[in-house]
Chain A
Amino acid sequence: MILQCRGLVRSYGPTQALRGVAMAVDEGEILAVTGPSGCGKSTLLHCLAGITRPDAGEVIYRDQRVDLLSEAGRARLRRTEFGVLFQFGQLVAELTAAENVALPLLLAGTGRREARTAALSWLDRLGVADLAEKRPGEVSGGQQQRVALGRALVTEPRVLYADEPTGALDTLAGEQVLGHMVRLAREQRTTVVLVTHDARVAAYADRELALRDGVADPTGLGLNASAGRHAGSAR
């Protein structure tokens, strides 16, 4: 088990996004976190990736309490162990594709030439080597997401967090991004936490964790717990 959490609670003002979520992922597993909008799936991903800190509960990555790390410590973890892929907006508009992919390495202190070589090889593996000198605004949404995927994977992270990575793409472009993501994750034995509301996207995963109203929903349909207890006693 590479990553797990217990009793996660996170509120935004009066609204509770997470109300005690527990989950665990094995090394190399691809887990889909599904649920309707507002169920807390993005918040869960943010807590797991160390982007936000939970109000209560613990996030454990390889015996390390992510929720107890400082802001800088979590940034370092994100840079070395984790990769993130969002719906859009994670690329720096002013930098070229190659520079964007090289960015995490540069921030970590890798030499410019070495970082560039690594970036170009990742762009090549993702089939967008010819876009290396283009800026994000000059390429299509699907190509942008492939560049973003390259940036998420360039540090060879152990866990990749993807939050609706194809949410802004048409079916075929999304399929390409997901295909590359799953293939590369399997090659590198990278664990993937894939947040989506789309059953077709979730079908790329090995396993599904359904959320509803900030708690795990084992029925996947939001059939509530009280109905479950009722069913148990009726049997």
Chain B
Amino acid sequence: MSPLTLVRLALAGSRTDTLRVVLTAASAAVATPLLLLSAAVIAIPGFGQGHRGSDSWAEQYRLQVLVEPGLRPGVVITLVLMTIPVLALAAQCGRLGAPARDRRLAAIRLAGATPGQAVRLAAAETGLASALGSAAGLAGYLILRRALGRPGADGRLLLPTDVLPATWALVAICAGLPLLATAVAMLLLRRVAFTPYGVVRRSRNRPPGPYAGILIVIGAVAMAVLQPGFRWAERIKWSPPGWVLPAILFVGTLCAALGVVLGTGWISYTAGRILRRYGRRPAALLAGSRLMADPWSGSRTFAVLLICVLFGAGAAGARSWFATDFAVREEAGRWQAAQAGQPYYADDNSFYFTTLDLINGAVAFGVALAAAGMLVAVVEGIVSRRRAYSSLVATGVPRGVLARSIVLQAVAPVVPAVLVAAAVGVTLIHAIAGGSVRSANYESSSCTSADCTTEVVVHVPSFVRQIPVPLADLALLGGLAVAAALAVVGVGLLFLRPATAVEELRTT
């Protein structure tokens, strides 16, 4: 097969295929600058060298998290994490029009293509699209870098536009992203067997069990043993190597996130069973049956949303932890000041809250992308079932019943899943914090006279406060997530009417 034939066959497709190619390219174009930006942050001199005092600060930036070298790894991790929803959106878009593409590949197989050739055709599409997207992303990054390269009114830069990522990082990102996308596309195609006689999707038939809960428990336990563990290490005079803490945090979070996403399969299945058993209306029965038939579609669709909720809840938990911590310190400080007969000066803690606001921004960005991915999934679900829907409409099922079943199908699993994700996110932080904040008791000596002839020694006792569960924040977050899901389904329903026109019965 010549390369020209490969391209012709890979790009032969209808409007839906074109849309899929465009969306694949677009998500590569969004992910590339994010990764390039994180590489640029790494390239700022002094990256990751810890707290060396303000001498090593890069004062040319407006954001404190960029100024302090010790904070930059967090920025990099956040930026890299932000590409996850982007890439998940790309994966969701990869399913767009996939049945038609799979049929086409089966027909090509029938004409004598080897399995390898069929997979190469499908991979070529993704590879070409994401390579183009990556190139556009690189161009966009370079243009943006120039546009934002001039310092603002305060003589500072918003982004690290004064440094370029290392050459190897540039190449690795711009070439690696398309390669990764192609590899993922090929991996996903392994489930689809293009037999020459049609498409067989090897599906998992076993109903999902609640085993994902084990992963969540592992994550929570890992977090909960952190504080006691480190106290114990201190007592036996052993200092663990520096990577232990981030590693445990990472693995614990990963376990919990995976557990939430995988658990959605069980939640969907159970929600479907309950709807089937207790539903009396056709819409509930339809939605329940469909949830039981494909419980994993929910976890695929909502994965990013749930991870965003998890992080958002974690951020809310951290905010309430920090607030409690500062409150306890302030209490101790005020007590000490009162004892010493001195005025109390409050600490400036705004830095922490600004950083948490940045994380909230990233979560909102993720929710927006997750909503876009869900929209694609909902529309795809309606369009791919248009024959079944239009035959139902033709036999007299009101569109309203179909619409209600689609809404139920989306909402029935998403509400419990969001609750679980929020609970897990806040639990993780509480597990790390240990539920309450206790200030250390210490002795403080201070001078009361200018020449320091009299020294006052104050014994500051330990103050304890429970960390409250940030119920208001969590309700806002969960409400936002469910509202996003509902809005997406509502928009998707606009496609129900054209998709169920009786003429659609004629389409193949």
Contact = CB atoms under 8 A, between A and B. Distances in A.
Interface of A: 46, 51-52, 71-72, 75-76, 78-80, 84, 86, 89-95, 100, 103-104, 106-109, 111-112, 151, 155
6 contacts: A72-B116, A79-B111, A79-B113, A89-B107, A94-B13, A95-B9
Interface string B94-138: 000000100110011111111111000000000000000000000
Given A90-B107, A106-B1, A75 B197 contact: no
Given A75-B112, A107-B117, A109-B2, 11 more contacts: A72-B114, A72-B116, A75-B115, A75-B196, A76-B114, A86-B197, A94-B14, A107-B112, A112-B2, A112-B4, A112-B5
B116 A93 contact: no
A168 B198 CA distance: 18
A93 B112 contact: no
B12 interface: yes
B349 to A, nearest CB: 61
B17 to A, nearest CB: 8
A84 B117 contact: no
- Which 8 pairs, one residue from A and one from B, show the smallest C-beta to C-beta distance? A79-B112, A75-B114, A94-B12, A72-B114, A103-B111, A92-B107, A106-B5, A104-B112
B195 interface: yes
A92 B110 CA distance: 10
Contacts of B112: 75-76, 78-80, 103-104, 107-108, 155
Given A92-B104, A95-B12, A112-B5, A104 B111 contact: yes
Contact of B110 (A71, A76, A84, A112): A84
Contacts of B115: 71-72, 75
A72 B110 CA distance: 12
Q: Which of B9, B100, B197 gathers most chain A CB within 10 Å?
A: B197
Interface of B: 1-2, 4-5, 9, 12-14, 17, 100, 103-104, 107-117, 195-198, 508
Given A92-B108, A94-B13, A107-B108, A75 B113 contact: yes
B1 A46 contact: no
A90 B14 contact: no
A18 B198 CA distance: 21
Contacts of A78: 112, 196
A111 B109 CA distance: 19
A151 B110 CA distance: 10
A91 B114 contact: no
A83 to B, nearest CB: 9
A91 B111 CA distance: 8
B107 A71 contact: no
Nearest to B196: A51
B111 A151 contact: yes
Contact of B12 (A84, A92, A111, A112): A92
A50 to B, nearest CB: 9
A103 B104 contact: no
A151 to B, nearest CB: 6
A93 B16 CA distance: 14
Nearest to A92: B107
A103 B111 CA distance: 7
B107 A106 contact: no
Contacts of B5: 106-107, 112
Interface centre among B12, B103, B112, B198 (most CB of A within 10 A): B112
Nearest to B6: A106
A92 B103 CA distance: 8
Contact of A51 (B117, B195, B508): B195
A107 B12 contact: no
A84 B113 CA distance: 13
Contacts of A108: 1, 112
B508 to A, nearest CB: 8
A194 B115 CA distance: 26
A161 B466 CA distance: 78
Nearest to A90: B110
Contacts of B114: 71-72, 75-76
Given A51-B195, A94-B12, A109 B1 contact: yes
Given A90-B107, A106-B5, A46 B197 contact: yes
A104 B9 CA distance: 12
Contacts of B109: 75
Nearest to A157: B112
A107 B110 CA distance: 11
A223 to B, nearest CB: 32
A59 to B, nearest CB: 16
A100 B112 CA distance: 12
A65 B269 CA distance: 46
Contacts of A107: 1, 5, 108, 111-113, 117
Contacts of B103: 89, 93
Contacts of A104: 111-112
Contacts of A92: 12, 104, 107-108, 111
A91 B107 CA distance: 6
A46 B196 CA distance: 10
A86 B197 CA distance: 9
A76 B116 CA distance: 11
Contacts of A93: 100, 103-104, 107, 508
Q: Pick from B4, B12, B113, B117 the residue with the most CB of A within 10 Å.
A: B113
Nearest to B14: A94
